[in-house]
Structure 1
Amino acid sequence: MDTTVADTLIGTTIDGRYRITGRVARGGMATVYTATDQRLERTVALKIIHPSQATNVHFVDRFTDEAKTIARLTHPNVVAVYDQGRHLGLPYLVMEYVQGSTLRDLLTQRRRLNPVEACAIGEQMLSAIAAAHRAGLVHRDVKPENVLVAEAPSGGKANLVDAVVKVADFGLARAVEASSVDESGQLMATVAYVAPELVTDGHADARTDVYSAGIVLYEMLTGRVPFDGDDPVAVAWQHVDNDVPPPSQTVKGSPQALDALVARATRRDPGARPTDAGAMLAEVQTVRDQLGAASVETALLRQVPGSRHAAADATAMVPAVSAAVADRPSWARLPEQSRNAQTYRRGDPELRSSTGPDRRRILLSAAVAVMVLVVIGSTWWVTLGRYTDAPSMVNMTKDQAELYARQHNFELFYADGAYSENVPKDTVVSQSPAAQEKIVKGGTITLTLSLGKERFEVPDLTGLELAAAKTELAQANLKYKEGTGQYSDTVPEGAVLSTNPAKGTELKRGDTVTVVTSKGRAPISVPNLVGKNVNVARNELQQLGLTAVERYKDSDKPADEVIAQSPKAGTGAANDAEVTLDVSKGPPLITIPDVNNQQCQQAQGTLQQQGLQVQITGFNPQGFVRGMNPPANTQVPPQSQVILQCF
């Protein structure tokens, strides 16, 4: 564990759940810590992105989306993602903690691995990458540092054939896809394992991972990478300009089958490689089986006829058949293999006692033939015969999955449920092994059922003290954010006035609720201004340190009289607060009708009916109207006086 430099995160509890206990490693984009999940009481690995990457919005968004995808990628050779979140603005992942070491550590200790060990680790590595390829993901950074080797179930770190291998760092697969170079101009993928097409045009697909896996296989077999140097860019271009040499060129006696496998996986033309990790996995399994069969046949043929105990020695070679298959992980072995070997060792008494040369040759030849058939049969049974394709059960309901399992003789095991935004409750969201992966006939399929959408209601915090409000939000799995305080005539100072979103709103885990607290009653009391002239009201508000906002409205009240106000009189207000005044525009105006040339008494009646006052002047009040003041069609307030000139 790297503790040579003080790390302020060690000892910190993130999101009230993950207590960081130590630092495992620091990479170019993130630092990995060990942490204790205090809710489930288990050790996890916590990867937190460096601050320099957190400013790249595109990187963070892709990183978050990829984490959600990988969390649904359930596979025994993939480091599981349990949770994600942010700490001080930095995205982090909570992952499965693998007790063991990286493939890089193993190669540093042992330099290189034997062919069977290299194939055993390669199979599980490719199995994990194949699962990602089926999900539409490209790893882009396959290298020994991202391959974790757990201790073998049978005990001991040296037993690599039975060790459990897990591939990590899928969480960065699409996040780095947006750019093939970093800020310093260096390739994001590790140059020792980078595929030619990633160097030339930045394009990556499943065949890019196949190339990198081929380089890792080459390094396991030889203890070195094919291209190396001080200049990363120059090393990267060597992948473009040169073919990867065969492992046997470095390690004499390396099997030709492995030379061919490495050559095919590392073709510079992507179209000449296996189409994806699943196709390469099948080729590795074939080569590994060939290596096991070849070792048995070689051991048998070395028993030269003529020895008194040649037949017995040939019989003694039978355990090699089991040994060849036993190179498989323990879960891939069959009990029948050991029973067959024991039966053959008991054998025919005549075989053990015969000393005739001719008979020995015949029996030895028969033994060789039988052994070859056993190897071929065992290989077929281990690789194909006992397996079938796992069915696709994702999106089945629980009842449908159980019915299907009964009809097709599968066992079901239910993992802890997972919340889903898209998949209904009690519907399968993931399975292991995945659809179309190999599974022993009648074997067990692990299903993860949807728990539905995870939602938490915003609690009613109104009137609570701030500390109590924070506790309520934490218990509701929501985050607290302090809002701007507001004055209130009803809620005491320091207590919660309101929340945003409002109480009862359903939110996702970790969503933020803004809490607004009361600042108490505002210091200025708003006066009663209704009925006052707007000028008087405006001056009164200015003297109190308040601002008038005037809105003129039609009213029967006299013009410029305040007819309403907001806030109401007696309400507390802060300095410079606005008080809205509704001001009367006065009664509506009257248009003076045209009464010129009408008989004066008739014209007077017409104007009075319109709510106007009339004054008659002139020499003949009984005459006709020869003039008006104000003139006809003039708009005037009600009860305005109109002078008629009558002659």
Structure 2
Amino acid sequence: MIGKRINGRYQILETIGGGGMANVYKAHDAILNRTVAVKVLRPQFSDDEEFIRRFRREAQAATSLSHPNVVNIYDVGEEADLYYIVMEYVAGLTLKQLIQQRGSLPISEIIGIMSQISSAIAHAHANHIVHRDIKPHNILISESGEAKVTDFGIARAMTSATITHTNSVMGSVHYLSPEQARGGLVNEKSDIYSLGIVLYEMVTGRVPFSGDTAVSIAIKHLQTEVPSPRKTNPTLPQSVENIILKATAKDPFHRYTSVRELEEDLHTALDPRRINEEKFVIPDDNEDVTKAIPIIKEDLFADDNLEQTKIKTQNEQKPNQSDEDKPKKKRKWVMITFITFFLLVGSVIAAFAIIPKLLHVDEVLIPADLIGMEYDEVFETLTTLGLLVEREDQNHGEIPEGHVISTNPEAGRTVKVNTTITVFVSEGKPKIEMVDVTSLDKEIARKTLIRLGFKEENIQEATEESDIEEDKVIRQTPLPDELIVPEETIVTLTYSIPKWFSLQNLTGLPSEEVRDYLTKHGLIMKSHYEFSDHVPEGRVIEQSPPGFRLVQKGTEVIVVFSKGPEPQPEPEPISTIVNKEAPVSPEDQLANIGYPIKITYRDSLNKEHVVFIEEFIQKTKIYDIPVTINPGDYAEVILYIEGEQYGNTDIYRYDDVKEN
């Protein structure tokens, strides 16, 4: 997917996350020139109508929401067999990653984050949407600390009635409400329970319930009270613990009536008057009112001591005393003989009938369909039949983890009640400890994982601004030493990229100071030089990128330095033609009178006057005199008639000639 352009618009840049249903990529919107997140349905589900329907439902649910703490949906579409949703890109971490990095968070930060989440969920509830899958993985924390709720993939718009979802439990088991675990009634109070579990994890750094299987964790949500978070975090105010205990009450009746009520409780949780308030305790119900009274049958006490149950009535008559005083001796002996005989016969009958039954042990058939079932179901089936169960775990390449491989005695055999049945349970494929690839170059880390059996398509990458050397792995999931099956495990490698920072405005700074600044921040300088009448020599005229633009280490910065004012070229000598008129008056011309004239000149080539022409004229005549004038110099032309200077000396200065 990296490098692919979806719908001719969204250029996929990198993988930033993923779940069981879809992968999430960072992309560039070529039309609006912005960074977006694109959620793409996994290829194996593109032919599954149920998954596609659920995938579309996420967008339909979320587009009806408009809230600063809900991730915005920009676009929904499909291209060939590719189904995608374009969402707001939030640079930062998930709340789960934040907790994994830092453990339990400071209480003031927790209240701030939780208030934002609660506000978002309250907005969803107001629009008749139950999220149903609230967990830290679905809460994004931006670099500025803003919380945004995402992934309404299993939310359903409600009608005026609540939602009953009886076929399956969709939420993540660690944050599942008891009613979701049992497949019962699901409404806003289910989200309140999940919010309480998220709050518990923020204040303790871990989830309240854990177990080997999802079923065992779900059972704890049903039967076990949430542990006191103050046992793990003694500094936690009692007011905050009370919020957790009330939100996670097993009975929805005892939880907050709405998320708004929970939100109001959060706002006052750090009030000094509340910090040491009494611990929240679920009120005891009136047993006479709330407990069903079993129906007592008349024969319930049939074998009880008659002396305790017999009640005399007024109609009961006493035996006639006079009749009792007259027993016959003969009848007495007959009765004794009869009773003795009856007892003897009864003893024989008991020996042959009752005693064998007392010694008899029932037999049961081990069901033949146990193989492949989940262990918890098998355990319940066998114990219901009166059998004892002993579990033994072992690796298996085909049967999923937590499911039964075989039994001893084998399924289909008949055994005595109370027989111990050994149930062999799959641990899945052989597991290895996750290798630690942090501090390695990202390409070396990737090759190391592939060599250990990880699938290349399951190795995802994420980036994080850091002062650590670029492209070094700074975080990984799964964590080192965690037991995993390489070919089934999705690995996320977070590697370092240079931090973005605002570039200083370098205009007017001297070259030495500029070089020091760029070197210090790891920026690459490319120098150019230009003449400037306004910026002194050696100082910056302009730069690219301009000042205050966000850049990162390794960015090339073009800096134009001043060479000072541009030198003016040396003026060139001017060679030109000047005109000089030698006049003859009209009267003289009519009288045909003429006279001698002489013209002299000086220029830069002739520092003293030289004769240009000397002749006799009888009519007015104009002469063209070539001269050369150097910068700062001048030329002179003088007319002589009959030996006397006629008129003023003509002077031609360099600047005047140049302008003309």
State the TM-score, normalized to the length of structure 1: 0.40
Pick the structure with greater CA Rg.
2
State the TM-score, normalized to the length of structure 2: 0.39
More strand by share: 2
More helix by share: 1
